[in-house]
Structure 1
Amino acid sequence: MQIPSRAIALRIFIGEDDRDDGRPLYESIVLKAREMRLAGATVLRGPLGYGHSSRLHSAKVLRLSENLPMVIEIVDSEERIDAFLPELDRLMTSGLITMEAVRVLQYGKTRGDRPD
């Protein structure tokens, strides 16, 4: 699979406690992205953050489960990201979704000319 050198980075900001039918929402999002054969997805767990409620979510030692922030990053072509958005809308009830144009320098094991 190739990603064009001009691609889209999709970032999804949710809470660790967010669920989809009992499963962690971040897991459902990644599995759906894989099912739709997007190039890849990465989940990042944040030690501190806040969202629309302005309530801090922290990973301090005495607070081990404080609904920490989670960020899912997916990079692929604009067409493939656009096809994924209706599924993402179906899965999410809150959170933040951003998209931005990115330049892909490397994907996979080899460097070389990338098709535009």
Structure 2
Amino acid sequence: MKELNAKLLRIYIKEEDKYGKEPLINLIIKTLKTNEISGATVFKGYCGFGTRGFSRADILRLSMNLPVVIECIDYEEKLEKVMPKIVELVSENGIISLQEIHIFKNLK
């Protein structure tokens, strides 16, 4: 099995974060797709905390603004190309990490 080097992009935001009037999650996913990133997954957290406070699911509240993590894996060149736009979109709303990983299947 051939091992390939790639990068894992992880973006931590809250589900109700916006860029202008547009939901930030939608804009990030659209940006990744437009830049032909191989794929992305959005994970919604049950609870979390950070510099912007504590969030957790509560059945008594209609709006919970829970933590969200968006992940994608692709080659470094492709992710480096899209990073300036992702940084602009996320701004002060979250954290972006980029880690070197090893994959065992070709990316398209």
- TM-score under structure 2 normalisation? 0.87
Structure 1 residue 70, shift from structure 2 partner: 0.6
SS at match of 1:91: helix
SS at match of 2:50: coil
SS at match of 1:102: strand
Higher strand share: 2
TM-superposition CA deviations, 1:87-114 (whole Å, max 9, x none): 11221222101111111123xxxxxxx5
- Conservation of the 8 A alpha-carbon contact between 2:7 and 2:75: yes
After superposition, where does 1:25-104 map in structure 2 within 5 Å? 25-53=24-52, 55-94=53-92, 95-104=94-103
* Matched pairs, number: 104
Identical-residue share of aligned pairs (%) = 34
CA RMSD of aligned residues (A): 1.7
Q: Return the letter of the residue paired with 1:73.
A: E
TM-superposition CA deviations, 1:10-32 (whole Å, max 9, x none): 00000111112322101100101
- Conservation of the 8 A alpha-carbon contact between 1:59 and 1:65: no
**Counterpart-to-counterpart distance in 1, 2:38 and 2:21:** 26
TM-superposition CA deviations, 1:21-56 (whole Å, max 9, x none): 322101100101000001111111101001113x21
- TM-score under structure 1 normalisation? 0.82
- Conservation of the 8 A alpha-carbon contact between 2:87 and 2:96: no
Which ranges in structure 2 are unaligned for 5 or more consecutive residues? none
- Conservation of the 8 A alpha-carbon contact between 1:14 and 1:71: yes
Which of structure 1's runs of 4+ aligned residues deviate more than 2 A? none
